[in-house]
Amino acid sequence: MVPVLETPRLYLRPLKLADVPAIQELFPQWEIVRYLTTRVPWPYPPDGARRFIEDVALPAMERGDAWHWTLRHRSEPSRLIGGISLMRGEQENRGFWLEPRCHGQGLMSEACRITTDYWFGTLGFPALRVQKAIANEASRRISLKQGMRIIKVEEREFVSGRLPAETWELTAAEWRAAQEASRAGRRTPDAGRDHPAGA
């Protein structure tokens, strides 16, 4: 079972079939998809959200291979504003997107922090790896704030074309040390502003 998670400003609710209409309406925006991988079809088809949720996301959640959440602001919990996912794998363990109207508020940093805690603390994985276009500066800032480091640079295919890309990594030990330092007042991993669609 994928649990509901909460941050100071967000509810993270498990993805479900009833989310299809909201995602189909909100997701197909160039600012959201341009730095996502080519697994995302573009132009986005009229049944894109349903196909993803029915054929990909829900089966993976049932197998225990992925954990998908919708993001909702606590002040308006009925309105879906984005999504975040964790996935088993050697090279890519997280992806996210957020509606442009909510950019620049630090919301995705909150979502990344609680799902990273879940990845290491509840699921017990030893490392978290994410891949992103170098041009996706907002997403890169989140990785920097979380204490991640670049372990690989290469070109990859994105919706917007073939671009220089990076693989970032964070180990469980590094995350625990960062959280202890934060609690001691030495650093704040999720401080700052972001407006990402990425990893």
The whole-angstrom distance between residue 161's C-alpha and the CA centroid of its chain comes to 21
What was the pLDDT predicted at 121?
97
**Which residue reads 């949720």 in tokens?**
53
Report pLDDT for 183: 87
pLDDT at residue 182, as a whole number: 84
Q: Which domains does the chain have, with CATH numbers?
A: 5-183 (3.40.630.30)
The kind and range of the H/E element at 143 are helix 137-145
Residues 129-156: pLDDT tens digits? 999 999 999 999 999 999 999 999 999 9
Q: Supply the pLDDT for residue 191.
A: 39
Task: Enumerate residues 6+ apart whose C-beta is below 8 A from 1.
Answer: 14
Residue ranges, the chain, pLDDT below 70: 186-199
188 C-beta neighbours (distance < 10 Å), count: 12
Considering the chain, what is the average pLDDT of its residues? 94
Separation between Cα atoms, residue 163 and residue 183, nearest integer Å? 38
Amino acid 79 reads: R
The structure tokens 């891949």 sit at: 131
CB 119, CB 128: distance < 8 Å: yes
Instruction: Note the pTM of the prediction, 2 decimals.
Output: 0.92
pLDDT of amino acid 188: 44
- 170 forms beta bridges with 128
